[in-house]
Amino acid sequence: ERLNNEEVIIGDGGMTYALERRGYVKAGVWTPECVMENPEAVQQLHREFLRAGADVIQAFTFAMQDKPLVSAGYSYKWNEISHAGSLLAKGVSGEGEFALASGSLCETGSLFRKGLASKEEIQQRFRDQVQIFVDTGMDLIIAEYISHVQEAEWMVEVIKESGMPTAVSLAISREGDHHGVLPGECALRLVRAGADIIGVNCRFDPERSLDTIALMQEAIQREGLKTHWMVQPVGYWVPDAGPSGFTSIPENPLALEPRLMTRIEAHKFARKAYNMGVRYIGGCCGFEPYHIRAVAEELAKERGRFPPGSDKSCLWGKALVHHAEPQIARRANREYWENLEPATGRPFSAAYATTEDTWKTSQDD
Give pLDDT tens digits for 67-101: 677 777 777 888 999 999 999 999 999 999 999 99
Mean pLDDT over each residue of the chain, to the nearest integer = 94
CATH of domain 2-309: 3.20.20.330
User: Residue 363: which pLDDT band, with cuts at 50, 70 and 90?
Assistant: very low
Q: Is 285 annotated as a binding residue?
A: yes
* pLDDT the model gives residue 75: 77
Beta bridge partners of 146: 170
Which amino acid would we find at residue 131?
Q
Q: What is the pLDDT of residues 156-201, one digit of tens each?
A: 999 999 999 999 999 999 999 999 999 999 999 999 999 999 999 9
* pLDDT the model gives residue 352: 83
Residues of the chain with CATH 3.20.20.330: 2-309
Q: Is 314 annotated as a binding residue?
A: no
Q: What is the pLDDT of residues 114-135, one digit of tens each?
A: 888 999 999 999 999 999 999 9
Beta bridge partners of 103: 141
Asked if residue 306 has pLDDT above 60, the reply is yes
More confident residue, 346 or 269: 269
User: Residue 365: which pLDDT band, with cuts at 50, 70 and 90?
Assistant: very low
CA distance 361 to 365: 7
Q: Is 106 annotated as a binding residue?
A: no
* pLDDT the model gives residue 161: 97
Average pLDDT (202-213) is 98
pTM exceeds 0.85, yes or no: yes
3-state secondary structure 198-212: EEEECCCCHHHHHHH
Asked if residue 59 has pLDDT above 80, the reply is yes
User: Residue 5: which pLDDT band, with cuts at 50, 70 and 90?
Assistant: very high
* pLDDT the model gives residue 63: 67
CA distance 80 to 39: 13
- 81 contacts 35 by C-beta, under 8 angstroms: yes
